[in-house]
């Protein structure tokens, strides 16, 4: 696991810009920092060594003939199989060397053979081409941009790239349309777009071929959307768990006590992993405990696994929030970013370098209610915030126009998925699956890597994902529950679906967090477009979210308040200037 960065272009200061990027990502790789410079490219890595701690395994890594220069972030799950197939005299035990020799043997086509999570930069010294590639489904992040002079810069984390662009006096602007769409869709945008118009993501499963003379060519890892014949889920599940186990190290498991993480933990134990569990609970707020600790304790007692508990109080949340936002790209503002930051810290304090999460099951099997919409319009309605517009003073016609165009963009993406052979349900599930890349996966990666802890996601193993997507959407989770039989107690097998419960939207109404957010928005870049009268009413009208059946509208207002605050705070932390969002009034003069 690493952080990678590179500068591909004709500029004498290439290594300085790469070094600047890497310095901002030291948390991703405290074990080594190295840069290699060639005529037209500088490539660098900060390294978190897990499988092979020797200096020979450091990156950038040069293939045996010297043709390919490789940096990558992630883990190649099938590297032992590839190692056997390639039949080389190996100098290390690391998967980076296998990756370098894969390029040596097959060029970019070797990427079709990879299984695992990865973001790769590979430079071909014979053709002077740079290849950037990212795993499907997009577990590891990778950002890039083209400068005004025609150079290319890439980095594992958005803020590192953003600050390098500022040093180069490049455009770091948001457009008004982007901001409207972003606020409309609960602080998300469609990939490959980011909040900064000039910075793009490498999309999940994408391979970019970059040339200083011929521009950019994009292609996909083959069969990304391909449906396959039903496969043996049990076999693929056990194989996916095997692929993430580090036999020589103690590992952590982020445990909720739900069916997904409990089943994963059980299989880890069954395969002999040295593992301990970590669970998080919030302090009790109103009638709700926001704690799954009793379920986690029950599972750990059943499996004889040590359990460590993290408690997150409201003041802790307020204190940690700026740090948690510091590495974010702004497109994953769900409040659980703070929880994953706290979990990463807890894992690091336990001396763990690797943790496992049960993220992804509900998306790939289509178990969420919102993945079962009757129409694209109904699905789009769910994706949008119902109340954000209530809290903003924005031009109604502009809002409507951008709402209509944003809907068409999402409709086109879903219809593209349908044209590959799926029905509406399959296409919406695939869209929701891509939502993982923008939302849940960055929270996990950035939250844990901030503490130099690698998080592995076995339920997003490529073969397991393809098997799940080849089956009909499973709203009742019956397919995954079948994997839990004979692994975990019946009471856990039958637990209803539940997201990561938190009281943050309630704190926005009744807690100190809401007051902190209100005061900040008063002086933020959003101050001229916030409808403070509506916020005053929300905070002071005597209504309550503390009962057993709170108003859904009131809860959604708390959510919208949170997303506005987190966005404004993110802009402040990263010194990003917003476009002018104020309504313009026409002024007429009589002759």
* Phi/psi of residue 210, nearest 5 degrees: -110, 135
| Residue corresponding to tokens 């987190």 | 566
Residue 95 annotated in ligand binding: yes
Whole-Å CA distances, 538 to 242, 284, 523, 544, 555: 50, 22, 19, 10, 10
pLDDT values of the chain reduced to their tens digit, one per residue, 591 residues: 799 999 999 999 999 999 999 999 999 999 999 999 999 999 999 999 888 788 888 999 999 999 999 999 999 999 999 999 998 889 998 999 999 999 999 999 999 999 999 999 999 999 999 999 999 989 999 999 999 999 999 999 999 999 999 999 998 989 999 999 999 999 999 989 999 999 999 999 999 999 999 889 998 876 555 666 667 999 999 999 999 999 989 999 999 999 999 999 999 999 999 999 999 999 887 767 788 899 999 999 999 999 999 999 999 999 999 999 998 999 989 999 999 999 999 999 999 999 999 999 999 999 988 899 999 999 999 999 999 999 999 889 999 999 999 999 999 999 998 987 779 998 999 898 888 888 889 989 999 999 999 999 999 999 999 899 888 889 889 999 999 999 999 999 998 877 778 999 999 999 999 999 999 999 999 999 999 999 999 999 999 998 878 899 999 999 999 999 999 999 999 999 999 987 544 433 343
Active site residues: 2
Q: Pinpoint the residues of the chain covered by CATH 3.60.20.10.
A: 2-220
Of the candidates 157, 144, 120, which has an alpha carbon nearest to the alpha carbon of residue 193? 144
Say if CB 268 and CB 355 are below 8 A apart: no
pTM (two decimals): 0.95
* Residue 28 token pair: 């991703």
In DSSP notation, 502-543 reads --HHHHHHHSHHHHHHHHHHHHSTTTTTB-HHHHHHHHHSS-
Q: Which CATH class for the 2-220 domain?
A: alpha beta
As a whole number of angstroms, the distance between CA 468 and CA 461 comes to: 11
Q: Is 301 strand, coil or helix?
A: helix
């Amino acid at each position: 696991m690493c952080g990678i960065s590179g500068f591909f272009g004709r500029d004498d200061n290439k290594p300085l810009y790469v070094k600047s990027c890497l310095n901002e990502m030291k948390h991703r790789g405290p074990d080594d920092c190295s840069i290699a410079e060639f005529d037209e490219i500088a490539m660098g890595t900060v390294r978190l060594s897990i499988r092979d701690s020797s200096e020979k395994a450091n990156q950038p890594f040069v293939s045996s003939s010297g043709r390919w220069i490789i940096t990558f972030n992630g883990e190649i799950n099938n590297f032992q199989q590839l190692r056997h197939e390639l039949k080389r005299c190996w100098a290390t035990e690391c998967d980076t060397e296998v990756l370098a020799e894969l390029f040596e043997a097959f060029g970019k086509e070797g990427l079709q053979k990879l299984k695992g999570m990865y973001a790769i930069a590979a430079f071909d010294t014979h053709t002077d081409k740079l290849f950037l590639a990212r795993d499907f489904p997009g577990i590891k992040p990778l950002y890039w941009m083209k400068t005004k002079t025609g150079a290319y810069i890439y980095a594992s984390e958005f803020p590192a790239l953003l600050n390098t662009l500022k040093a180069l006096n490049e455009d770091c602007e948001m457009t008004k349309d982007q901001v409207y769409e972003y606020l409309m869709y609960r602080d998300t945008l469609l990939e490959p777009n980011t909040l900064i118009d000039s910075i793009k993501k490498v999309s999940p499963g994408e391979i970019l071929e970059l040339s200083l003379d011929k521009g950019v060519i994009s292609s996909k890892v083959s069969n990304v959307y391909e449906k396959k014949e039903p496969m043996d889920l049990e076999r693929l599940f056990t194989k996916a768990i095997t692929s993430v186990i580090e036999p020589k190290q103690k590992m952590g498991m982020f445990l909720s006590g739900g069916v997904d993480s409990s089943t994963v933990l059980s299989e880890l134990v069954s395969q002999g992993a040295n593992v301990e569990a970590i669970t998080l609970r919030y302090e009790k707020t109103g009638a709700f405990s926001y704690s799954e600790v009793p379920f986690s304790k029950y599972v750990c007692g059943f499996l004889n696994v040590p359990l460590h508990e993290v408690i997150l109080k409201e003041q802790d949340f307020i204190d940690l929030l700026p740090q948690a936002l510091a590495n974010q790209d702004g497109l994953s503002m769900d409040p659980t970013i703070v929880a994953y930051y706290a979990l990463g810290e807890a894992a690091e304090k336990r001396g763990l370098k690797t943790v496992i999460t049960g993220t992804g099951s509900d998306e790939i099997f289509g178990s969420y209610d919102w993945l079962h919409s009757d129409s694209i319009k109904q699905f789009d309605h769910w994706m949008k915030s119902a109340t954000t517009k209530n809290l903003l003073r924005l031009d109604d016609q502009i809002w409507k126009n951008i709402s209509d165009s944003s809907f068409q963009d999402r409709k086109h993406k879903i219809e593209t998925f349908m044209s590959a052979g799926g029905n509406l349900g399959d296409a919406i599930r695939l869209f929701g699956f891509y939502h993982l890349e923008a939302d849940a996966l960055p929270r996990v990666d950035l939250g844990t890597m901030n503490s130099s802890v690698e998080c592995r996601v076995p339920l997003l193993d490529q073969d397991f994902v393809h098997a799940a997507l080849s089956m009909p959407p499973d709203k009742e989770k019956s397919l995954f529950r079948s994997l839990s039989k004979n692994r975990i107690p019946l009471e856990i097998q039958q637990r209803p679906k539940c997201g990561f419960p938190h009281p943050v939207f309630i704190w926005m109404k009744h807690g100190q967090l809401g007051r902190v957010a209100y005061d900040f928005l008063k002086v933020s870049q959003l101050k001229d477009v916030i409808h403070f009268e509506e916020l005053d009413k929300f905070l002071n009208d005597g209504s309550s979210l503390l009962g057993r059946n709170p108003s859904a509208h009131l809860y959604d207002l708390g959510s919208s308040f949170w997303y506005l605050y987190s966005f404004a705070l993110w802009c402040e932390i990263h010194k990003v200037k917003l476009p002018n969002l104020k309504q313009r009034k026409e002024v007429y003069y009589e002759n």
